[in-house]
Amino acid sequence: MAVVGPIQPYAGGGAVQENFRAMVDHVLTYNPDCPSQLAKRRINTRLRQVLDRRMWAGLLVRGQIVIPPVYTVGSVTVTQGSDVIVGAGTTWPVNDLVSTTLSTAITIPAEYQDVTPASMVGIGAGDFVTLDAGGANEEFLLVISVGLTTFKAKPAKAHSAAETITKSSLVRRQFRVGTTTSFYGIIGVSSATSLKLDLVWGHQDFGPGATYQIMQAYITMEQNLRMIWSVVNNKQGWRLRLNMPQEVVNTYDAWRQTTGFVYMMIDYVPDEIGRFQYELYPTPSMQQGFPYLAYRTVAGLENDEDTPPPAIPSHILVHGALSDVLKFNPKSPYYDPATAKEFGMQFEADVLSASMSDDSIYMQNLQWAYSRYPFTQHGANYWQSHDVDSVFGYV
């Protein structure tokens, strides 16, 4: 599970910023014939273009990746071709994260719709929740998005009001038996002895009495994060290597038999709602947290008081929008493609200047092999538990 830290308010930081209302008025003074909605859209389009130019220091946030302990209580029976795992002596939690009921019946299945629970506590976009866990009408439902009192989903069945809605803390962890089988995602827990996988079991049968592990091999980052900048393993005192492709670990450890102290975060497939996923390697075998820095994205400007994010001066967006609206409606007396071109050139110059200023906040253009230049001479105690080549990046 990834947790993003507190995010600064939607304000301009050290830059002198016009708010959204003032920016729109500024643009419309050059072309009063332009609809205000068009001016707002062009300002937000320019904001998206500026955001895509670089990872702006003003959009850095801190957070942590929280890894739960490995779960191995009891034993299991696993059957090839089935996506249900049967436990014996297991105490799998069913509703420790979400425990509510359906307020309004679902009468039209197989359509995207708003589902209304009695409480939204614990329900987030990308979750799998279980309707009528263990009952005759059981269904595992993907939450597409959330509102204040409803969430968007596509139920495959009709459901009555008052049916239970639950979510287990085991959801979105990974299940495996032994060290030569794949990781399977858990999408729901029906009871203390029954859980549901995201794929049918493709290996041979195991059990009754087979040992198993439930761990956090993959982690999902929040939708508003664009790129992970740095991650640290505090238990071992090293940074994680980022942006490693699956081919690397598939070559050296296809079975993922190595577990323990994580030193790599490997790119993986997006999840069901498009969020970035990463594999931690070696597969973590203990409870821990990994602090990180990441670049976030921002929503468009909407309210009159909104300002662009820090390090992106408002005049950049105004100049970009002016180069657009001055070419709106050739029949208008305010149509002026020559001035529009000048504002377009000014927009490009402004972006370059802002990028240089942004580097003074958090340097990005300086590229060097950090791991080859230690900042201190570590003592003998440190090297008794650290591999020289790994710490300095030679392997």
> How many other C-beta atoms can be found within 10 angstroms of the C-beta atom of residue 251?
9
* Residue 373 confidence (pLDDT): 47
Confirm if 256 and 284 have CB atoms less than 8 A apart.
no
Least confident of 314-328, 330-344, 346-360, 369-383: 369-383
Per-residue pLDDT, 57: 85
List pLDDT tens digits, range 195-249: 999 999 999 999 999 999 999 999 998 888 888 989 999 988 888 999 889 998 9
Backbone angles phi, psi at 328, to 5 degrees: -85, 130
Indicate if the pLDDT at residue 366 is higher than 60: no
Q: What's at 283, amino acid-wise?
A: T
pLDDT at residue number 392? 58
**Which pair of tokens denotes residue 172?**
């979105």
**Which of 1-10, 187-196, 320-329 is least confident?**
1-10
Q: Please compute the mean of the pLDDT values over residues 343-363 and round it to a whole number.
A: 88
124-169: per-residue pLDDT in tens? 999 999 999 999 999 999 999 999 999 999 999 999 999 999 999 9
**Residue range 315-320: average pLDDT?**
96
Yes or no: say if 265 and 244 are a contact pair by the CB < 8 Å rule: yes
pTM exceeding the 0.95 threshold for the entire prediction: no
Q: What is the pLDDT, as a whole number, of residue 394?
A: 55
Q: What is the pLDDT of residues 273-317, one digit of tens each?
A: 999 899 999 999 999 999 999 988 888 999 999 999 888 999 999
| Rounded Cα distance, 143 and 155, in Å | 10
Q: What pLDDT was estimated at residue 380? A: 65
How much is the pLDDT for 382?
66
Residue 75 has pLDDT above 80, yes or no: yes
What's the confidence (pLDDT) of residue 224?
84
Query: What was the pLDDT predicted at 387?
Result: 72
**CB within 8 A of 126, min separation 6: which ones?**
142, 143, 220, 223, 271, 272, 273, 275
What contacts 263, CB < 8 A, 6 or more positions away? 233, 236, 238, 240, 241, 281, 282, 390
Strands 164-167 and 151-153: unpaired
Q: What is the mean pLDDT of the chain?
A: 89
Q: Which residues are paired to 338 by β-bridges? A: none
